[in-house]
Amino acid sequence: MLTLVFCCAIGIVTLLYINFQFAWWRSTIPYKHPRVLMYHMISHQKRKAKYNKLRVDPIEFDRQVNWLQANGWEFVFVSELENEPARKQVAITFDDGYRDNYLTADPILKKYGAKATLYLVTDRHDRDWSSSKKEHHDDGELMAEPKLLDEDVAKMVGSQRWELGSHTVTHANLLRLDNNQCNIEIQQCRTELEETFGTRATSFAYPFGLFEDRHVELVKTLGFQFAVTTEQGISLDLDAERLKLKRVKVSGRDGLASFRLRMRTGKCRFRD
């Protein structure tokens, strides 16, 4: 009898843990609403690294893009997003400009006929921008990550698998800057991208996902078509939210089951 009670207790605890870790019970967001996925690095996890959530294993990324293709998702750039499109749309996005985006992610995109939008910091080398969000985050982990070379970016854009978006000159914390400084960070980044790579940068990503209403107004004034945040989820009205688009965060902790759940509901874990 005690053994049965113990087994039941273990089963209940396990079920509660699964419900807490994977909120499978959330309602499906209708697939007429495009999904915008957020990635940073496609690389192997590093032992005791602080930012392993930003590192999606190449094997997992391959599985994810393969699943998207096999399940009828149409790969689009952020600039191509439509409100309630005829087909299921997914926009893959990468933030910052890590070199594995070219060396590792790009061949996988090519393999499956996929494409992505890259939110690129123009002054990205030898910078530890994590400390711009929190001063104690000054261990240099992100600064040590190899960043994209201009020649890499030129090849990416030339392949027509990538489009560029502005992510500021220095990955600035916009909350710490006045309006004029924000204008310079955002507009100069776009100008440098367009002049260097001969392409248009029509969307913007708020660094760290930190912004206020004044930044949204500035992005609107500068004429950006879309702007993406780090708020987890799926935007339900592109017209109303085009300058504050939610994104589906893809974590380095995710397996394919978690990824599929995120694609269905916009989130995965209970606390997301």
Spans in the chain with pLDDT lower than 70: 1-26, 131-138, 269-272
Q: Chain centroid to CA 224: how far?
A: 18
pLDDT score at 267: 85
The answer to whether the CB of 112 falls within 8 A of the CB of 90 is: no
pTM here? 0.89
Quick one: pLDDT at residue 17? 44
For residue 232, the model assigns a pLDDT of 95
Residue 163 to residue 157: CA distance in whole angstroms: 6
As a whole number of angstroms, the distance between CA 8 and CA 16 comes to 12
What pLDDT score was predicted for residue 11?
A: 45
H or E element that contains 36: strand 35-39
Q: Using CA atoms of 247, 66, 163, 46 in order, give the dihedral in degrees to the nearest 10.
A: 70
Q: What is the pLDDT of residue 231?
A: 96
The predicted structure's pLDDT at residue 270: 53
The residues near 31 (Cβ < 8 Å, ≥ 6 apart) are 88
pLDDT of residue 128: 82
**How many Å apart are CA 269 and CA 263, to the nearest integer?**
13
Q: Distance (Å, rounded) from C-alpha 155 to C-alpha 219?
A: 28
What is the rounded CA–CA span in Å between residue 41 and residue 38? 10
